[in-house]
Amino acid sequence: MPQNTQLRRVLKTPALVAFGLAYMVPLGVFTTYGQVTVLSQGHLPVAYLITIATILFTALSYCRMTSAMPLAGSAYSYVQRSFGGKVGFLVGWAQILDYLFLPILNYLVLGIFLHEAFPSIPAAVFVLGSIASVSLLNILGVRLMTSVNFSLIGAQMVFIVLFITLSFSQAELTPENLMRPLLVGAGDFSGLMAGAAVLCLAFLGFDAIATMAEEADDAKRTLPRAILITVISAGTIFIAVSYSAHIIYPDWQSLIPVQDTASLVVSEKAGGKWMYTFFMAAYLTGVYASAMTAQTGVSRIFYAMGREGVLPRKVFYHLHSRYHTPYRAILFVAVVSLTALFLDLNMVVSMISFGALGAFTFVNLSVVKHFLINEKRRGGAALFKYGLLPIIGFLLSVWLWSHLEPDALKVGMTWLVIGFIYLLWLTKGLRQAPPSVKYDDIAHLID
């Protein structure tokens, strides 16, 4: 084992919840507000309900696996140890897709909105400045990030309370207006499911919590608790905010030409120009916090894959001598994030959901494989906890996966084909197992 390769265990449940919420962004409902409102034809709260149903079953599966295997690799580590290295590698490869694209999404959004506020400054300037500062904070360590996360989440919560209050105080609270966001017609179902699939990215914070397993204090207890608190808290916020937005601005058709910045239209409708300005400040600080935690999460995935040897160890399995952070992986993510200068927002959103749903699908299956097959758990309670619940999560994840936009499915499948070709090279045509670290070699990390 290389020297100086153990992460510091400093995160308790509140810090992990703050990490997850910062990753999700409480105001992240506005990132895809225009896109999913149009897809669901004005039924964004219902789309969130569908997504939450899927996420809760899958979150329970993550809780089971984090208790059994609290390792930094999250879905990659669970599948690798449940189904073997080859399947684990492909799931990790799909997981890379959503984790790599999430910081890109945040940098892209920062560029779009800050350029909207300061038109004389090119969006690229804001993107480059954000990448540089976020990378520096990541290298300095998670203790500093935790204090920053609490502050940025607090600012967003103030805006959320104010937005909901203003929306209900100024909207026409007629029965028709109150029920319109919830009444789904037969012709709306396909768009509703497509929207629900996109919204999976809004809940990636609970998955990201699992990547911090080797920096969590008493990981087997704190991780499951933090995952459930984060999912329930975020889901409640997303439904409340999206419903309030539909109440104050029911004319979803008018948002079609301005999908990327529809949230600016809605916030100004709720409280005028000052609310527009407050939204910009609160939202962009939230997106910045998400960029920090997103880069943290993906660097830990690379750290775990570097430890296994499926990615170059000299680059990814290396910690800073002073800060004990995987700084080379962080810098690699920063370089990849420069693609935010060229990519389209809708495509980035869809690619994140593709990778996330792939990971969700196999984590649910890992619960069945690990507990019922490998450990041979028996009895009605075991079949319910480790059989029925994860199978429901698996089916819901596949269902949403199939409703992603066709272009996202094509690009995602192309990414998997590239990963499979790389796997063939690693395993000499699947004749060998991929490189891995024996469980005993890292057992001290999970005790």
Q: Across the chain, how many H-helices and E-strands are there?
A: 18, 0
> Do residues 329 and 139 make contact, with C-beta atoms less than 8 angstroms apart?
no
Name the residue ranges covered by the structural domains of the chain.
13-445
Spatial distance between the Cα atoms of 81 and 59, rounded to a whole number of angstroms: 19
pLDDT tens per residue across span 359-414:
889 999 999 999 999 999 988 899 999 999 999 999 988 887 887 778 778 888 89
What pLDDT score does 436 carry?
61
Q: Is the pLDDT at 279 greater than 70, yes or no?
A: yes
Counting residues of the chain whose pLDDT is more than 90, the rounded percentage is: 21
Q: Both ends of the chain: CA-CA distance in Å?
A: 18
- Residue reference for tokens 């395993």: 427
What pLDDT score does 120 carry?
93
More confident residue, 192 or 25: 192
Spatial distance between the Cα atoms of 438 and 15, rounded to a whole number of angstroms: 30
Q: Which run of H or of E encompasses 154?
A: helix 142-170
Q: Is the pLDDT at 6 greater than 80, yes or no?
A: no
**pLDDT category of residue 295 using cuts at 50, 70 and 90:** confident
- Residue reference for tokens 């608190």: 229
* C-alpha closest to that of 236 among 164, 290, 317, 175: 164
Helices 406-426 and 345-367 pack at an angle, to 10 degrees, of 60
What pLDDT score does 73 carry?
65
Helix (H, G, I), strand (E, B) or coil at 11: strand
Q: How far is CA 251 from the centre of its chain?
A: 29
User: What are the CA-CA distances from residue 247 to residues 163, 364, 400 (Å)?
Assistant: 11, 36, 27
**pLDDT category of residue 72 using cuts at 50, 70 and 90:** low
Domain spanning 13-445: which CATH class is it, in words? mainly alpha
Q: Is the pLDDT at 308 greater than 60, yes or no?
A: yes
Q: Give me 171's structure tokens.
A: 């909207």
Residue 352: partners with Cβ closer than 8 Å, 6 or more residues away: 97, 98, 101, 102, 105, 200, 201, 204
Q: Is the pLDDT at 146 greater than 70, yes or no?
A: no
pLDDT tens per residue across span 204-229:
768 778 777 777 777 788 888 999 99
What pLDDT score does 315 carry?
80
Average pLDDT, the chain: 82
Spatial distance between the Cα atoms of 137 and 103, rounded to a whole number of angstroms: 14
The mean pLDDT of 265-282, rounded to a whole number, is 86
User: What are the CA-CA distances from residue 144 to residues 38, 278, 354 (Å)?
Assistant: 39, 25, 31
Spatial distance between the Cα atoms of 104 and 309, rounded to a whole number of angstroms: 26
Spatial distance between the Cα atoms of 175 and 387, rounded to a whole number of angstroms: 42
What pLDDT score does 326 carry?
83
The mean pLDDT of 143-164, rounded to a whole number, is 78
> Do residues 319 and 330 make contact, with C-beta atoms less than 8 angstroms apart?
no
Residue 147: partners with Cβ closer than 8 Å, 6 or more residues away: none
Residue 11: strand pairing partners: 216
Beta carbons within 10 angstroms of residue 83's beta carbon? 18
Question: What is the maximum alpha-carbon separation in the chain?
Answer: 67
Q: Give me 375's structure tokens.
A: 């450990």
Burial 152-176 (b: 16+ CB within 10 A, else e): bbebbeebbebbbebbeeebeeeee
> Do residues 27 and 286 make contact, with C-beta atoms less than 8 angstroms apart?
yes
**Angle in degrees, CA 193, 411, 421, rounded to 5:** 130
pTM, full prediction = 0.76
> Do residues 397 and 363 make contact, with C-beta atoms less than 8 angstroms apart?
no
Q: Rg of the chain over CA atoms, in angstroms?
A: 21
As to burial, measured by CB atoms within 10 angstroms (0-12 exposed, 13-18 middle, 19+ buried), residue 215 is buried
Spatial distance between the Cα atoms of 343 and 349, rounded to a whole number of angstroms: 11
Q: Is the pLDDT at 144 greater than 60, yes or no?
A: no
Helix (H, G, I), strand (E, B) or coil at 172: coil
> Do residues 407 and 347 make contact, with C-beta atoms less than 8 angstroms apart?
yes
* C-alpha closest to that of 95 among 320, 280, 372, 354: 354
pLDDT tens per residue across span 29-57:
887 888 888 888 888 999 999 888 888 99
